[in-house]
Amino acid sequence: MVQQLSLFSSIDDKSYDLFIATMNTVSGNPPILYAKVSTVWIPNPSLQIEGANSKGQLVEKTRIKVSTDIPLSMLQQDSSSEPLNTDAIDHTILKTFQDSNMPINFKTLQDMMHGTDRINDEKQNAWCLSISDIPAAGNNRKVSMQTINESILLSHVGSNSNIETIMNELGYIFQYQYVTIGTRFNLKHNLILELQKIWNITESSKKQITKGGFLIKAFINVDKATDIDKMNLTESVLLNLQKELQGYITLAVPDRKSMDSRLVID
């Protein structure tokens, strides 16, 4: 169980260079390009799942997010061209993604999810299964605070074993998936700042949700919510960053309802 403390903001495409330069100076670290694919799963609606467990405690149906990293070698300028040279890819590539064109082949992503061939353990993709609570309530919260439970699936065996069959066995079915490509900065006190481009993808369409700009997320993960000192320190570290960037970008607490992964109670 992890507490994630975060603040969000956004910038437009043309501010990207300046912001990268600013963060480079503020953090003293170079920008790092990263990419991931996330799939979101919901409890199978055809199953009669009760809202309570055998002890009578209320348990709400929540989505599970299953995500894995995309190797940078998979990024392509467009679906027809050859993969880029990995060494040549850096954070500037994000500037070229201004429309809905996604630099990753849809089929390759599907193969990652349904792929069953395996040569050895290391070749098998590790996936992270995570369930997050709705962020903590309270009117005068200075930062968003969310509890995340996660487990890492390292590998699997069995005939026809892939992420889909595994999730189905757990009673979950696929809902939607999205790709995130972004740049991250590592700052002091485990503070991480990310600029993200997000694409919602289906077989027929790719839509960039962050069209025209970037989502900015600054966060710190704290492994023990009971460690009050650390929580307070973490909060002040985030607020310091907020102060430092004041007047330039506004890091704010998002609406907690937008970060609710529970299913609508019908």
Partner 1 sequence: MEEPWSIEFKTYRTHIKNYSEDSRSKLMYSMNFSHHPRYNVIIKNKLGLLLSSDKINESVKERDTRIQDLIENDCSTGFPESLDMLLGSKLTNMWEQRQILRGDAGETFRTINCIIRCINLFSSTGFKGLIIEIESIGKGSVEVFNNKVNDIKDLLKEINIADYQISHDTLTEQTDLNPIESDTDNLCNLAYQYVRVLEY
User: Stretches 36-44, 74-82, 206-214, 244-252: which one binds partner 1 (CB under 8 A)?
Assistant: 36-44
Two tokens at 140? 């005068």
Q: Which of residues 154-173 bind partner 1 (CB under 8 A)?
A: 154-159, 161, 165-166, 169-171
With contacts defined by CB under 8 A, name the span among 5-13, 20-28, 59-67, 231-239 that binds partner 1.
59-67
Q: Which of residues 120-139 bind partner 1 (CB under 8 A)?
A: 120-122, 124-131
Name the segment binding partner 1 (CB under 8 A); options: 77-85, 146-154, 232-240, 245-253: 146-154
What's the closest the beta carbon of residue 182 comes to partner 1, in angstroms?
7
| Of residues 61, 54, 57, 264, the one with CA closest to residue 171 | 61
Interface of this chain with partner 1, residues 63 to 92, rule: CB under 8 A: 67-70
34 near partner 1 (CB under 8 A): yes
Among positions 184, 185, 195, 238, the unique one binding partner 1 when judged by CB under 8 A: 184
Residues linked to residue 195 through DSSP beta bridges, in sequence order: 183, 216
Q: Determine the longest span between alpha carbons in the chain, in angstroms.
A: 57
Distance CA 12, CA 216 (A): 10
Which listed residue (93, 153, 173, 233) binds partner 1 by CB under 8 A? 153
Choices 32-40, 74-82, 200-208, 242-250; region in contact with partner 1 by CB under 8 A: 32-40
Axis crossing angle, helix 106-114 with helix 163-170, rounded to the nearest 10: 60
* DSSP structure class, residue 136: P
Phi, psi of 12 (to 5 degrees): -95, 170
The DSSP code sequence of 29-43 is S--EEEEEEEEEEEE
- SS3 of residue 138 by DSSP: coil
**Letter string b/e over residues 180-194, b meaning 16 or more CB atoms within 10 A of that residue's CB:** bbbbbbebeeebbbb
CB of 151 to partner 1, least distance (A): 5
Query: Taking the CA of residue 37 as centre, how many other CA atoms within 13 Å lie in the half-sphere pointing to its CB?
Result: 25
Structure tokens at 86: 């990995």
> Binder to partner 1 among 18, 152, 209, 252 (CB under 8 A)?
152
Smallest separation, CB 149 to partner 1 (Å) = 5
| Contacts to partner 1 from residues 186-245, by CB under 8 A | 194, 221, 223
Note the residues at the interface with partner 1 (CB under 8 A).
1-2, 4, 32, 34-36, 38, 43, 46-55, 57, 59-62, 67-70, 120-122, 124-131, 148-159, 161, 165-166, 169-171, 180, 182, 184, 194, 221, 223
